Chain A
Amino acid sequence: MNLRMSAGPHFVARESTQTLMLDVIIALIPTAAAGVYLFGIRAAWVLAVAVISAVLAEFIWQKLAKKPVRVGDLSAVVTGLILGLNMPSEVPLWLPAIGSFIAIILVKQLFGGIGHNFMNPAMLARGIMLVSWPAQMTIYTLPVRVLGTTSVVPSPDAVSAATALIRPSAYSNYDLLIGNIPGTIGEVCKLAIIIGFLYMLFVGTISWQIPVTFVGSVALLSWLLGSDPLVAVLSGGVLFGAVFMATDYVTNPMLKVGHLIFGIGCGVIVVVIRKFGSYPEGVTFAILIMNTVTPLIDRWTSRRVYGTVKKHA
Chain B
Amino acid sequence: MSKLSFKGGVHPLKEIHEGKEATKSKPIRSYVPEEVCIPVDMHLGAPSIPCVKKGDLVKLGQVVAEAAGPRGIPVHASVSGEVLSVGPKQELFGKPSVCICIRNDKQDNWVELKKLGDVETAPADQIINAVRDAGICGMGGACFPTHAKMMLPEGKSVDTIILNGSECETFITADHRLMLEQPQRVVDGLRAAMRAMKVTKGIIAIEANKMDAYEAVSKAAQGREGVSMALLKTKYPQGGEKQLIQAVTGREVPSGGLPMDANVVVLNVATAAAIADAVTEGKPLIERVSTVTGCVNEPANLLLRVGTVVSEVIAACGGTSEEPGKIFVGGSMTGLALPNDSVSMTKANNCLVVVNQKDAAPKEVSPCIRCARCIEVCPIKLNPQRLNVLCEAGDLAQAKKENMLDCILCHSCHYICPARIQFPFKEAKEKIVARRI
Which A residues lie at the B interface, using CB under 8 A?
1, 3-17, 19-20, 70, 73, 75, 113-116, 249-250, 254-256, 303-308
User: Is the CB–CB distance between B420 and A6 below 8 Å?
Assistant: no
B95 to chain A, nearest CB (A): 15
Flag if A307 contacts B417 (CB, 8 Å): no
Does B33 count as interface, using CB distance less than 8 angstroms? no
CA distance A308 to B253 in the complex (A): 9
Complex contact B371–A249 (CB within 8 A): yes
Q: Which residue of A lies closest to B325 (CB)?
A: A4
Chain A residues with CB under 8 Å of B363's CB are 12
Chain A residue numbers with a CB within 8 Å of B337 are 3-7, 10
Cα distance A116–B12 in the bound complex, in angstroms: 29
Q: Which residues of B contact A75 (CB under 8 A)?
A: 369
- The secondary structure that dominates the A interface is loop
A294 to B325, alpha carbons, bound, how many Å? 43
Instruction: Write the residues of chain B forming the contact surface with A, with a CB cutoff of 8 angstroms.
Output: 10, 12-13, 15, 19, 170, 242, 246, 252-257, 324-328, 330-341, 353, 355, 359-363, 366-372, 375-376, 379-383, 385-386, 403, 406, 411, 414-420, 422, 426
Contact A116 B418 (CB under 8 A): no
Q: A10-B335, A115-B370, A308-B403 are in contact. Are A255 and B375 (CB under 8 A)?
A: yes
Closest-by-CB residue of A relative to B417 is: A12
Contacts A7-B411, A307-B406 aside, 12 further interface pairs with beta carbons under 8 A come to A3-B339, A8-B336, A9-B411, A12-B415, A19-B418, A254-B383, A254-B386, A256-B376, A304-B381, A305-B406, A307-B255, A308-B254
Task: State A5–B381 Cα separation when bound (angstroms).
Answer: 29
Residues of B contacting A3 in the complex (Cβ-Cβ under 8 angstroms): 324-327, 337-341, 360
Chain B residues contacting A14 (CB-CB under 8 Å) are 15
CB contacts (< 8 Å) of B355 on chain A: these are: 10
Asked if B419 and A17 sit within 8 Å, CB to CB, the answer is yes
Rounded to whole angstroms, the CA-CA distance of A114 and B419 in the bound complex is 11
Considering the chains assembled together, what is the distance between the CA atoms of A255 and B336 in angstroms? 32
* Chain B contacts for A305, CB-based, 8 A: 255, 380-382, 403, 406
6 contacts between A and B (CB under 8 A): A3-B327, A4-B360, A5-B338, A8-B333, A12-B415, A20-B369
B403 and A4 contacting across the interface, CB-CB below 8 Å: no
Q: Are A17 and B246 in contact (CB under 8 A)?
A: no
Taking CB atoms, residues of chain B closer than 8 Å to A255 are 372, 375
Partner of B370, one of A8, A10, A11, A249: A249
Asked if B418 contacts A254 (CB within 8 A), the reply is: no
Would A16 and B420 be within 8 Å (CB), given that A4-B326, A114-B369, A255-B372 are in contact? yes
Q: Is the CB of A73 within 8 A of B371?
A: no
